[in-house]
């Protein structure tokens, strides 16, 4: 036996002297027993090659394959580190922040062999040349052992996360041509805490984890990668790694083995190719390295149990440590007691990394659901109409906005929010606390069952720190209203108006239906928020929405309206009398008796977020609702009711060249005549006959406003839109051209707001005929009758013979002829205004403690340069709620009744109308009416003539007799609310009188004599001195005859109460300047035609008889007022 | 005349060259007439290297006064040791390795990002921050880069330009350290790969042998030191695997000699420098023997696959503490026991007798070896060399394991010098007095030598006399 100088045990014992022996290969190396027990802790550096790390990894795998996969030796460490590097490559995307690359924890660098070697060799630095030569030499000479000959590139992992050692380069590992991956020799424990794997494993720690204990997805990828290369080819390239994989497989559970068994050559395609972030595909010897397939690979109890989502389900993670969630499966391990997710994660969902495991997978935390700021408004909350967060109203009745985020609604619906968890707890709760703080609890259900509880206290003045759970509650002031609070059903175009009146300049609303943000159709700020007043804003929405995001001064909270579901089968009929001065709507439900449009408290159309804005500080908000939108109630017990002034308020900056919306740029000003018009609005009257270019738009907007109100009423009171009927009226004196435009407006609005498929339910009726249906149905009109509807602008007449309408006429001569300004004369010269303004002013001022608003309105209207408006205001005072409430004597009608001088104006007015009708009956040889029925708001002034119907009957009869000679007594009937007759008639309208039928009855005397009709005549044919003189003469004759009815003096002075001293002067005053007045009337008509784009060859559609009388009355009133 | 270039890399390289020098000085046969040692060690101040260089320098000094024509029997200093032609030093100097870290040496900060990243992947921060002034502290991966500059050095160029067909190369390195471990594969790759010299083809195809010294000593644990002998084994295993793949694996070396010892000697922990001075160890002696073995192996036995060798001694005692000539294999014994013994006898004489005898002894007087001679530079060099030889033997003997063929400190009885070997009694005609101790040596020196070159130089004559005398003495006394 010999002693051989060697360090391994076995082998030939016969070696003496230098003798041939076996080369030291694996067998020998295996037999070398380390006297230090292979407990070496220092990294091995004795490989005489710059690529020693590559070699060491090979040795490590080889050694581990021999001694067993589990162990604590340096080789086990190296193997574990290599696998860690592989797993980091596999998870590389998880360690990146796609939004902010500077926050990437990992960067993949590429070393291009040919290029870099060349650079080094050609470097002017000698040492670089040496490095280059050396690397090149080893790569060439050691090619066989490490597949260097097949390697073009090395991909390196550069760690850039927290605790990095160097600002730029912290290489932790790389791809290896021999063992797939290899690790750096450095102590990499500083990385451990920042790169967690899916199963909570930490790379580079002292737990050397064998492959089979690693994330199964990573394992699956490795086996798939091997198959994609081919098992044999893989084994020849990466022999030790291959053996390692084979051994590791043996330790897998049956479940995991099955997963591996199921793989085939294509399975690797389940994973996307990893890139270095640029154009380089990471590869090992040309075989692409893949990355984790993020979809559907996680199975965690924390997965959100969402209503809205089906694809990726993020985890919902608790933010408080404790044992509440400790038994839940987190990723590939349990959620630990000490775990808590960060309160806030600024990464977007897709690039988030799960805490503790470092895995890129979406998760949600408290800040995703709960805002940091909460807003409250110091007004009583309207819990009926808005969701109050399940709070106890006894603790605080302030209006709290909900500090929820958009993210919440990505996963849950509003009904989820309002609902409860399985254990009966509310999903969401607001708990006001003493001292102004509020606690909010939100429960997010998770897959496992149960929920994650997020709780946050909002403290006034709290400074927000994203690292703790601080929340701040802040007072803001704004008013908000939603109109209507109805969810629109299928096939119905939603239409909402949202009112916003904010004291903060930076206020913004967003609307969402579930998670999708709805397009805002229109948003108008008529007044910006200022120091003294709230903003006035409207949002027009044509989408159903269920969430409102309110952002005030940068703080965004949520408002949830409690929309009602519109359901019901009632049939509604509306009749809209769009009048010159006043408009009215009657409606009937299921055939019931018609009644004036109303909006009782139960049907409030614009639901306000808070109920008590009328505190001193918020009066501007309270008023703005009425000013810019709609009052809470209309009708009985309300300050507002129909009929109402035909008036439209529009934004001072409105531009009708652009798209405009009603209840946005403008609205029906319910407070008109009751209070000062707000500065942001200007008020437009005389809509019906205005010929300005924008008038059509304004009319449309006005009527649209009415439509919205009607529609909302149907929806809110159990009606069915598709059954809803709408009747509108047109004055017979309207030109056909204009009528068609008018019709278009109604049809369009009907289609949009009521029903696009039931045009047959939109009916139109002549204003002349409408009262007939009222009187016929309600007053038992006898067989021969005349109905006279006196409006603000037109008077419409229908002659009925044997219950059948036989003639119809209409003329632009109505109450505006009494109270207006003639042919554009100044209100200062208007007799009524002149005479009464001082008195009315005195009475308003004298009662200003009650009538402050009204006084303001008065002053404003007085400045408007329109006598009709002023007169309308005078008339409105008697019905003004404040006047009525305080029993203040402000009855303009009463004043007029008691004014014997002005009485002559009304005598001439009504006289001319009756006289003209009598002439028409005579000319057409129609039967003398037994009854003359008055309607229309203008006919209210019949009361000025006489409150006694009998007296008026006498007046009418005498005029008829004057014209016709013999004539039986004619009975006059009138109603208390004559305005309503048209609308009510519309409700009763049975569709029996078509437009064409009515039109066929049209007949007008030209006005120049007793017989000539307008038929076939054109304006240019009468635009001459002869015709004008004929008309003026005819009128002059009328004056003579009026004042020569039988017992004229006695009747007018005695029965009507006219001033006897003026009786003789009046006819002369009336005859003043008649030719000129006639000419002005014709000119005005021609101008109007021209404004509407018609030339003077248009057919004459009304009598010229009243042309001079318009001016005559104005002149008469002025003259009388001077007396 | 073929040359054997012997590259001694790192501390083990120097120590093995020291052993070789001692053996060649004693006349151990080398089949190559000329040995050209090249020391590669960035640790310029390493004590082991200095001692070796000193010894070789003295060897050359001594030898230059000698000639080895056929008239002379002397084999002391027979084999020529010389630096590479045109070079004045045995050391292959490395540039820019002083006071510089590996990182700064490579000037990584001037590299582009990709190269910088790769360097940071291949080398640890500790690697990059290590100061290379004392070698590579057991980090041959660093050495593999830094040492590569030798291929551009003047010495290497001179070597490669002078290399001739038939010349051989031998490389000594340890596997568990830094310098040697890295230098060996690097040198080997360069030799096989470099095509910049005129004679690259000769080098590429030259017979190259190498001895890989596996662990045979350990250093005391010192946490502040870059050297940790607890890693020697793991490093060795890794490196062996590397060799298996890339040295023997690709047959780039013709003969590879493995040697190590499983009962390691423990040395003081020095990273390097002047304090790194380890006692000579028999493993280095055996390593040096591998050079001679290689030199003696015919070309045809070195073709094809790498020949690998191990070294054994002839004993049943695995745990043998002290090795003497008798424990060695017969081949080794034959090769070294006589020359070493002869040279030691000379050493003994010079040390213990010469000063008192040379004025009276005929061998000196006849040759004119007077005071002038014994105070000459030549004699001084020789004396110093012999002193070094004595120290070397002493170190071998006191090391663990100990190689102690001689009781070299014994003055008298002189011939009880060889341990385990009883000296024969020699009958001497005149007087028993002349047959004992140093007198016996004088007697042999005074022998009337045949074929004696009367005209040789004094230096030559002195050496010749002692060679002949000790040869005969060892033959008579020990049958060597």
Give the pLDDT confidence score for residue B218 in this predicted structure: 66
Residue A368 is predicted with a pLDDT of 94
- Judging contacts by C-beta atoms under 8 Å, the chain A residues touching residue B193 are 137, 140-141
Instruction: Tell me the shortest Cα–Cα distance from B382 to chain A, in angstroms.
Output: 31
Interacting residues of A315 by C-beta distance below 8 A, sequence separation 6+ = A298, A300, A302, A303, A304, A354, A361, A362, A363, A364
Going from the C-alpha of A503 to that of each of A397, A399, B445, the distances in angstroms are 20, 15, 127
Tell me: the pLDDT tens digits for A388-416?
999 887 888 889 999 999 999 989 999 99
Question: How confident is the model at residue B196, as a pLDDT?
Answer: 79
Mean pLDDT throughout A681-705? 85
Under the banding of pLDDT at 50, 70 and 90, the label for residue A990 is confident
Encode pLDDT of A900-956 as tens digits: 999 999 999 999 999 999 999 999 999 999 999 999 889 999 999 998 999 999 999
Predicted local distance difference test score (pLDDT) of residue A998? 84
The ipTM, to two decimals, is: 0.92
- pLDDT score of B238: 78
- pLDDT, residue A203, reads 87
Q: Average pLDDT for residues B101-119, to the nearest whole number?
A: 91
User: pLDDT by residue (tens digit) across A905-915?
Assistant: 999 999 999 99
Mean pLDDT for chain A overall: 89
Q: Which tokens in the block code for residue B359?
A: 């004025």
What's the average model confidence in pLDDT over A602-621? 86
Structure tokens at A668: 């029906």
What residue in B sits closest to A182 (Cα-Cα)? B121
Average pLDDT rounded to a whole number, residues A335-345: 89
pLDDT tens-digit readout, A18-54: 999 888 888 888 788 776 654 555 566 667 788 988 9
- pLDDT for A723: 92
Chain A residue closest in CA terms to B307: A20
The torsion region of residue A686 among left (phi > 0), alpha (psi -120 to 50) and beta comes to: left
Q: Which of A1031-1045, B255-269, B447-461, B465-479 has the lowest mean pLDDT?
A: B255-269
Of B177, B233, B261, the CB nearest to A5: B261
Q: Does B115 touch chain A (CB under 8 A)?
A: yes
Question: For B219-254, how does the pLDDT look when each residue is reduced to its tens digit (9 = 90+)?
Answer: 565 555 555 566 677 778 878 888 888 888 888 899
- Measuring CA to CA, which residue among A367, A364, A354, A466 is closest to residue A95? A354
Residue A352 pLDDT > 60: yes
Residue of A nearest to B178 (CA): A46
Residues 6+ apart with CB under 8 A from A763: A725, A726, A727, A728, A986, A989, A991
Count of CA atoms in the C-beta half-sphere (13 A) of B476: 15
Determine whether the interchain pair A142/B245 forms a contact, defined as Cβ–Cβ distance below 8 Å.
yes
- B250 burial type by CB count under 10 A (0-12 exposed, 13-18 middle, 19+ buried): middle
Question: What pLDDT is attached to residue A100?
Answer: 67
Task: Quote the pLDDT of residue B239.
Answer: 83
Question: What digits encode the pLDDT tens for the residues A269-315?
Answer: 888 899 887 888 999 999 999 988 765 457 789 999 988 766 678 99
Task: Report chain A residues whose CB lies below 8 A from the CB of B179.
Answer: none
In 3D space, the residue among B8, B1, B6, B19 whose CA is nearest the CA of residue B280 turns out to be: B19
pLDDT in tens, A185-195: 888 888 887 88
Count CA within 13 A, CB hemisphere, residue A684.
24
Taking an 8 Å cut-off on Cβ atoms, the answer to whether A5 and B311 are in contact is: yes
pLDDT grade for B145, boundaries at 50, 70 and 90: confident
Q: How confident is the model at residue A974 (pLDDT cuts 50, 70, 90)?
A: confident
Q: Percent of chain A scored above 70 by pLDDT?
A: 96
Is the pLDDT confidence value at A495 over 60? yes
Q: What is the pLDDT of residue B297?
A: 94
Cβ contact, residue pair A109, B262, below 8 Å: no
Q: Mean pLDDT, to the nearest integer, of A114-140?
A: 92
Residues 64-83 of A with CB under 8 A from B: 74
Closest chain B residue by Cα to residue A146: B245
> Are residues A16 and B320, on separate chains, in Cβ contact within 8 Å?
no
- Taking alpha carbons only, the member of B195, B297, B184 closest to residue B247 is B184
Please give, rounded to a whole number of angstroms, the shortest distance from the CA of B359 to a CA of chain A: 44
Mean pLDDT of A173-184: 94
Nearest to B118 among A20, A44, A156 (CB): A156
Q: Is the distance from CB of A140 to CB of A229 less than 8 angstroms?
A: no
Whether the CB-CB separation of A379 and A612 falls below 8 Å is answered with yes
- Asked if A55's CB is within 8 angstroms of B242's CB, the reply is yes
Partners of A112 on chain B (C-beta within 8 Å) are: 114
Q: Report the chain A residue with the minimal C-alpha distance to residue B301.
A: A20
Residue pLDDT, tens place only, A549-607 = 999 999 999 999 999 987 788 999 999 999 888 899 999 999 998 999 999 998 999 99
- The pLDDT score that the predictor gives to residue A189 is 86
| pLDDT grade for A1075, boundaries at 50, 70 and 90 | very high
Contacts A141 to B, Cβ<8 Å: 189, 192-193, 246, 250, 252
- What is the average pLDDT value for chain B, to the nearest integer? 86
The predicted structure's pLDDT at residue A749: 95
| Partners of residue B181 in chain A, C-beta under 8 Å | 46, 48
pLDDT tens digits, B81-93: 999 988 888 988 7
Per-residue pLDDT tens for B367-414? 889 999 999 999 999 999 999 999 999 999 998 889 999 988 888 888
Beta bridge partners of residue A107, listed in sequence order: A158
CA–CA distance, B461 with A61 (Å, rounded to integer): 64
pLDDT value at position A374? 96
Q: What is the pLDDT of residues B55-69, one digit of tens each?
A: 999 999 999 999 888
When pLDDT is averaged across residues B425-446 and rounded to a whole number, the result is: 78
């Amino acid at each position: 036996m010999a002693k051989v100088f060697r360090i391994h045990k076995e082998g030939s014992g016969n070696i003496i002297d230098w003798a041939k022996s076996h080369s030291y290969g694996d067998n020998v190396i295996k037999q070398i027993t380390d006297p230090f027990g292979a407990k070496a802790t220092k990294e091995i550096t004795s490989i005489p090659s710059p690529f020693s790390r590559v070699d060491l990894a090979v040795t490590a795998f080889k050694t581990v394959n021999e001694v067993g996969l589990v162990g604590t030796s340096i080789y086990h460490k190296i193997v574990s580190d290599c696998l860690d590097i592989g797993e980091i490559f596999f998870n590389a995307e998880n360690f990146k922040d796609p939004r902010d690359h500077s926050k990437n924890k990992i960067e993949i660098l590429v070393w291009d062999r040919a290029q870099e070697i060349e650079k080094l060799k050609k470097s002017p630095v000698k040492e670089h040349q040496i490095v280059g030569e050396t690397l090149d030499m080893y790569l060439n000479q050691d090619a066989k052992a490490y597949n260097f000959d097949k390697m073009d590139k090395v991909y390196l992992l550069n760690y850039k996360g927290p605790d990095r050692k160097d600002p730029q380069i912290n290489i932790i590992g790389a791809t290896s041509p021999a063992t797939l991956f290899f690790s750096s020799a450095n102590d990499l424990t500083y990385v451990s805490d920042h790169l967690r794997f899916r199963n909570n494993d930490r790379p580079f720690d002292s737990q050397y984890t064998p492959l089979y204990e690693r994330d199964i997805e990573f394992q699956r990828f490795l086996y798939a990668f091997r198959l994609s290369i081919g098992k044999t080819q893989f084994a020849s390239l990466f022999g030790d790694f291959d053996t390692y994989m084979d051994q590791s497989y043996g330790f897998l559970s049956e479940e995991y083995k099955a997963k591996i068994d199921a793989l085939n050559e294509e399975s690797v395609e389940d994973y996307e190719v990893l890139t270095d972030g640029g154009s380089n595909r990471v590869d090992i010897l040309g075989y692409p390295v893949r990355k984790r397939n993020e979809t559907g690979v996680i199975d965690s109890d924390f997965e959100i149990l969402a209503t809205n989502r089906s694809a990726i389900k993020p985890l919902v993670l608790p933010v408080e440590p404790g044992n509440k969630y400790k038994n839940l499966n987190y990723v590939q391990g349990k959620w630990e007691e000490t775990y808590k997710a960060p309160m806030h994660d600024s990464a977007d969902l897709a690039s988030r990394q799960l805490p503790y495991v470092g895995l890129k997978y979406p998760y949600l935390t408290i800040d995703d659901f709960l805002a940091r700021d909460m807003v409250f408004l110091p007004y009583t909350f309207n819990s009926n109409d808005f969701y109050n967060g399940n709070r106890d109203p006894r603790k605080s009745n302030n209006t709290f906005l909900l500090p929820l985020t958009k993210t919440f609604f990505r996963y849950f619906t509003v009904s989820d929010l309002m609902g409860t968890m399985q254990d009966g707890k509310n999903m969401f709760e607001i708990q006001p606390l003493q001292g102004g703080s509020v606690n909010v609890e939100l429960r997010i259900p998770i897959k496992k069952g149960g929920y994650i509880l997020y709780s946050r206290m909002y403290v006034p003045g709290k400074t927000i720190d994203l690292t703790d759970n601080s929340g701040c509650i802040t007072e803001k002031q704004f008013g908000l209203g939603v109109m209507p609070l109805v969810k629109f059903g299928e096939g119905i175009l939603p239409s909402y108006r949202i009112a916003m009146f904010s004291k903060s300049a930076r206020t913004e609303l967003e609307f969402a239906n579930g998670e999708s943000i709805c397009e805002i159709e229109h948003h108008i700020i008529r007044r910006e928020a200022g120091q003294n007043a709230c903003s006035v804003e409207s949002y027009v929405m044509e989408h159903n929405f269920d969430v409102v995001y309110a952002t005030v001064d940068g703080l965004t909270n949520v408002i949830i309206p409690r929309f009602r579901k519109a359901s019901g089968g009632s049939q509604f009929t509306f009749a809209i009398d769009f009048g010159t001065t006043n408009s009215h709507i009657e409606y009937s439900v299921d055939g019931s008796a018609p009644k004036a449009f109303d909006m009782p408290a139960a049907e409030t159309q614009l639901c306000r977020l808070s109920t008590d804005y009328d505190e001193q500080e918020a009066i501007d908000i309270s008023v703005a609702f009425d000013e810019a939108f709609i009052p809470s109630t209309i009708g009985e017990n309300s300050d507002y009711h129909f009929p109402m002034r035909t008036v439209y308020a529009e934004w001072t900056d409105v531009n009708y060249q652009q798209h405009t919306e009603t209840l946005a740029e403008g609205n029906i000003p319910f407070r008109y005549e009751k209070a000062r018009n707000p500065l942001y609005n200007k008020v437009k009257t005389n809509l019906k006959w205005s010929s300005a270019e924008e008038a059509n738009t304004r009319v449309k907007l006005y009527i649209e406003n009415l439509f919205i109100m009607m529609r909302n009423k149907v929806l809110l009171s159990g009606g069915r839109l598709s059954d809803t009927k709408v009747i509108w009226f047109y004055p017979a004196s309207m030109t056909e051209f204009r009528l068609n435009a008018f019709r278009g407006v109604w049809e369009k609005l009907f289609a949009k707001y009521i029903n696009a498929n039931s045009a047959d339910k939109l009916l139109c009726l002549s204003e002349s005929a409408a009262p007939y249906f009222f009187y016929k149905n309600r007053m038992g009109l006898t067989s021969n009758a005349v109905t006279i509807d006196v409006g603000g602008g037109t008077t419409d007449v229908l002659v009925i013979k044997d219950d059948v309408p036989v003639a119809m006429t209409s003329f632009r001569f109505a109450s505006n002829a009494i109270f207006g300004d003639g042919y554009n004369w100044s209100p200062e010269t208007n007799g009524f205004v002149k005479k009464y303004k001082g008195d009315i002013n005195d009475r308003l001022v004298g009662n200003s403690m009650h009538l402050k608003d009204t006084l303001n309105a008065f002053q404003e209207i007085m400045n408007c340069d329109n006598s009709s408006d002023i007169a309308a205001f005078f008339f409105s005072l008697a019905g003004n709620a404040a006047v009525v409430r305080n029993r203040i004597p402000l009855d303009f009608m009463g004043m007029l009744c008691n004014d014997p001088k002005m009485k002559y104006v009304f005598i001439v007015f009504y006289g001319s109308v009756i006289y003209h009708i009598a002439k028409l009956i005579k000319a057409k040889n129609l039967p003398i009416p037994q009854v003359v029925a008055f309607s229309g708001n203008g006919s209210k002034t019949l009361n000025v003539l006489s409150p006694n119907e009998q007296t008026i009957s006498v007046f009418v009869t005498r005029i008829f007799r004057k014209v016709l000679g013999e004539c039986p007594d004619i009975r006059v009937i009138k109603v208390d609310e004559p305005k309503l007759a048209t609308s009510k008639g519309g409700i009763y309208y049975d569709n029996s009188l078509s437009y064409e039928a009515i039109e066929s009855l049209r007949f007008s005397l030209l006005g120049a004599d007793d017989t000539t009709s307008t038929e076939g005549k054109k304006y240019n044919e009468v635009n001459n001195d002869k015709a004008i003189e004929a008309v003026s003469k005819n009128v002059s004759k009328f004056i003579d005859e009026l004042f020569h009815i039988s017992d004229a003096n006695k009747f007018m002075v005695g029965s009507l109460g006219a001033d006897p001293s003026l009786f003789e002067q009046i006819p002369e005053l009336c005859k003043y300047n008649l030719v000129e007045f006639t000419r002005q009337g014709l000119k005005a008509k021609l101008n109007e035609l021209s404004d509407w784009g018609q030339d003077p060859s248009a057919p004459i559609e009304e009598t010229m008889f009243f042309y001079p009388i318009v001016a005559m009355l104005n002149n008469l009133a002025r003259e009388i007022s001077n007396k | 005349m073929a040359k054997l270039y012997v590259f001694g890399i790192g501390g083990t390289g120097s120590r093995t060259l020291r052993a070789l020098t001692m053996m060649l000085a004693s006349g151990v046969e080398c089949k190559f007439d000329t040995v050209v040692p090249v020391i590669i060690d960035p640790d310029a101040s390493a004590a082991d290297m200095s001692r070796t260089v000193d010894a070789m320098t003295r060897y050359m000094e001594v030898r230059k006064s000698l000639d080895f024509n056929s008239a002379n029997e002397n084999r002391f200093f027979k084999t020529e040791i010389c630096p590479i032609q045109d070079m004045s030093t045995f050391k292959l100097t490395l540039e820019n390795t002083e006071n510089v870290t590996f990182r700064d040496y490579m000037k990584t900060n001037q590299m582009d990002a990709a190269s910088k990243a790769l360097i940071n992947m291949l080398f640890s921060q500790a690697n990059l921050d290590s100061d290379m002034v004392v070698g590579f502290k057991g980090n041959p991966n660093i050495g593999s880069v830094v040492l590569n500059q030798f291929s551009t050095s003047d010495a290497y160029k001179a070597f490669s330009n002078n290399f001739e067909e038939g010349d051989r190369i031998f490389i000594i390195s340890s596997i568990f350290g830094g310098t040697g471990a890295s230098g060996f594969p690097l040198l080997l790759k360069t030799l096989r790969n470099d095509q910049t010299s005129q004679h690259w083809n000769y080098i590429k195809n030259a017979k190259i042998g190498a001895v890989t010294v596996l662990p045979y000593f350990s250093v005391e644990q010192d946490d502040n030191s870059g050297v940790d002998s607890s890693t020697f084994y793991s490093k060795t295993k890794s490196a062996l695997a590397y060799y298996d793949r890339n040295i023997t694996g690709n047959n780039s070396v013709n003969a590879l000699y493995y040697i190590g010892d499983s009962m390691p000697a423990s040395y003081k922990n020095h990273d390097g420098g002047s304090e790194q001075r380890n006692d000579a160890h028999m493993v280095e002696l055996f390593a040096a023997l591998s050079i001679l073995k290689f030199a003696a192996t015919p070309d045809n036995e070195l073709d094809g696959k790498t020949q690998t060798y191990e070294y054994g001694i002839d004993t049943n005692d695995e745990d043998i503490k002290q090795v003497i000539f008798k424990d060695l294999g017969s081949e080794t014994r034959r090769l070294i026991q006589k020359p070493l013994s002869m040279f030691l006898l000379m050493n003994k004489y010079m040390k213990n007798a010469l000063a008192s005898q040379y004025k009276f002894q005929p061998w000196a007087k006849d040759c004119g070896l007077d005071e002038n001679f014994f105070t000459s530079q030549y004699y001084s060099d020789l004396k110093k060399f012999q002193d070094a030889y004595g120290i070397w033997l002493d170190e071998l003997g006191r090391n663990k394991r100990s190689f102690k063929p001689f009781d070299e400190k014994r003055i008298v009885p002189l011939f009880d010098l060889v341990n385990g070997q009883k000296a024969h009694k020699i009958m001497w005609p005149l007087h028993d007095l002349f047959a004992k101790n140093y007198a016996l040596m004088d007697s042999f020196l005074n022998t009337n030598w045949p074929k004696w070159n009367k005209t040789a130089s004094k230096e030559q004559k002195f050496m010749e006399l002692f060679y002949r005398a000790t040869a005969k003495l060892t033959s008579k006394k020990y049958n060597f």
